[in-house]
Amino acid sequence: MYEFHGDKKRYFDMTCAVTRDHIIPFLRERFPFPEGMEVLEIGCGEAGVLKAFTDLGYTCTGIELEDARLDHARAFMPEEMAAGKVRFVHGDIYDIEPERDLGKRFDLIILKDVIEHIPDQSRFMPQLHRYLKPGGAVFFAFPPWMMPYGGHQQVLPGKWASKLPWYHLLPGSLYPAALKALGVNASGIATMEEIRSTGISIERFLRIGKQAGFRVKHRRDYLFNPIYEHKFGLRPRRLPVFLGAIPWLRNFYTMGVYFLMEASERQ
């Protein structure tokens, strides 16, 4: 496990910086930020992403299933909360009615490093329309499952367990057996198996997005994910176009993708 995984304030600052320097510029290329824009982040964690938007004067809401993570968010953004610039909701989006429980719908919805952790993604995606204003958009960022660390093994303790690439792609019982051989305990193996059950490829994401009534408005594939600059000192690098044009194989070397999606005409 890397040190930054346990330092919540450092991770909050890293996420805020990536949002300010990369995500917001990416969005501005295709999405006109309306005056008084309302931003919703689903799976906001400690809310570093939302901090970058409140710094620009936008009003934000964060929904998070883990209340302990919201405790950190509240501790990191007390002034923004007091000024009414951000609110946090502990809950499940399936149980929330946006207009009844939140009093609004949103111009922009953000899911950063979240979709790859959600079970039954094909059921989840259509729910986003309930939260979106007409003309709004949804931003997704995620690591494709087949990339070197798509199994999130970097969060594991132990040098080899956290740094070996691609072994999360071992089939069936070979993967938990490899984790056990690398010294991962039963709880860690269960967590990695859960991540395996929800990992998502670029192709599957595009397919379920289309089925849910969304189309791609803007896209960027990364060879080196922007957050790697803060984690590992690697400057962000986009995936060469010719590599990104090869379906399925591109999942193995695309370490991060950004998608801006809008409702298709039939919605």
**136 secondary structure, DSSP code:** E
Burial class (CB in 10 A: 0-12, 13-18, 19+), 17: middle
- State pLDDT tens for residues 66-118: 999 999 999 999 999 999 999 999 999 889 989 899 999 999 999 999 999 99
pLDDT, position 215: 97
Owner of token pair 């960027």? 220
pLDDT at 5 > cutoff 80: no
Contacts for 193 with CB less than 8 Å, ≥ 6 apart? 175, 176
**pLDDT tens by residue, 221-235:** 999 999 999 888 999
Q: What is the pLDDT of residues 122-176, one digit of tens each?
A: 999 999 999 999 999 999 999 999 999 999 998 898 889 999 999 999 999 999 9
Distance CA 62, CA 82 (A): 15
* Residues facing residue 106 across a β-bridge: 132
Biggest alpha carbon–alpha carbon distance for the chain: 55
pLDDT value for 231: 86
The domains located in the chain, with CATH, are: 3-146+201-263 (3.40.50.150), 157-198 (no CATH)
Residue 177 confidence (pLDDT) above 90: yes
How many C-beta atoms surround the C-beta of residue 90 within 10 A?
Answer: 14
Q: What is the pTM of this model?
A: 0.94
pLDDT at 266 over 80: no
Residue (of 24, 41, 44, 20) closest to 32 by Cα position: 24
Residue 222's beta-bridge partner residues?
A: 238, 256
Using an 8 Å Cβ cutoff, are 15 and 76 in contact?
no
**In the predicted model, is pLDDT for residue 251 greater than 80?**
yes
Find out whether 157 and 2 touch, Cβ atoms under 8 Å: no
Quick check: 62 and 96 in contact, CB under 8 A? Answer: no
Share of the chain above pLDDT 90, in %: 86
